[in-house]
Structure 1
Amino acid sequence: MSSPRRPGLLTDLGAVVLTLVLVGIAGALGRWQYDAWQAHREAEARDLSGVTPVPLDDVMGADDPFPAPDLGRPVEVRGEWLEGGFWVADRELDGRDGYWAVDPLQVGDAAVLVVRGWAPEPEAALLAARGETALTGWLQAPDGSLATDDDPDDDVFPEIRVADAIQRVDVDLYSAYLVAQEPAPGLQAAELEALPSPSRFTGVRNLLYAFEWWIFGGFAAFIWWRWRRDATAPEVGDLDRPAAG
């Protein structure tokens, strides 16, 4: 004979309530960690190109590494143009190949490279920036693809690298460059090369914690299901034994 085993009503209800509480807490904590992951990515990927400009010194110093969270931020500078300008090849504007005109602007004891505009062909006269000026430009990080310069002796570079440009000026350079919002006479406004995008590893710890909490919630539900199945399984009684002869 077999008879079903069932836990008491209070025990059954208590197990259900405990399971629901644990699953609810795990789900809520997982959601909180997931939202934190999303917030980290959104903060890193925010587009700062339209915010109010701030002085360059408020964002970084001449000896500071490039501040990645401020990529694309408009900054204000005031200084004097230096000799040592150059062109950067293979820069597009509205689908057309062309060149950037880049000149160093001395700001205090250092200089910052400024993209003054775009031209379809390099012209020496367009690099003749002289005198003092004040301008607003978007903060950009130097290029790092290590493209080869086929002719190191000319004024055309394959990309903007501080290590290359420092040889053309007598002062230190910022580890950043600016794209001027207003192009110089004879040039067209250059397009921004880079805006922030989140790294694949941004906030990954929060994402892993979210998965851990959800797995814990699923495990709690599984434990309840296993306990309920075992608690209500038929109980096999002793079989009738043959009488002793």
Structure 2
Amino acid sequence: MADARLNYSSDIDIVVFFDPEKGVLTDPGEATKIYSRMVQKLVGLMEDRREHGYVFRTDLRLRPDPGSTPVAISFDAALAYYESRGQNWERAAWIKARACAGDQQVGAAFLKELAPYIWRKHLDFATIADIQAMKRQINIAKRVGDIRVEGHNVKLGRGGIREIEFFTQTQQLIAGGRDATLRVKPTTMALAALAEANWISDKTATESHRYLLVSTRG
């Protein structure tokens, strides 16, 4: 999974899963060790600072339970985690997920298996409160205050890119389980889809879209 659309300074979030049934390795029992080593070497290459800079800053912490799991885990282990212990912020993050490397068909199959976890037809609105609480925690951690012109953080500040993303993803989580047309990844397309479905106003979609364009170009 990777999403580096917002700006060139953003890091990318990668989650690596493998299908143990594919029979690619001579010793399937070594899969976790081998794939984890490959991921770590790949990240090292992308983050290696050379004369002309580096490729990407990379974050591997979106994987299930990152404090106690290797950087590459099996499909079955990942699905078991999301079905039993998955957090609401993870559901929001997976809205944007896409297969970006390896076997694309296997990646697409995994996302299909994960869809019922992300898109629930009957949503407990405690989910929304949970996501809002997470945004408040980010505000506190980043010391985000009122909107101001000088020194305003267009990404993390009030009314900024991250807040627009949170708003959009929250609306998608509420309605996307019943309306598949809202299950789109880019934030600007999601805003348009929400407006088309009369879930948000055209004005909200247009102003949010305009802000994202101005912020990312600036």
TM more than 0.5: no
Compare the two structures and name the one with the higher strand fraction: 1
Specify which structure has the bigger relative contact order, considering alpha-carbon pairs within 8 angstroms and separated by 6 or more residues: 1
TM-score normalised by L of structure 1? 0.20
Compare the two structures and name the one with the higher helix fraction: 2
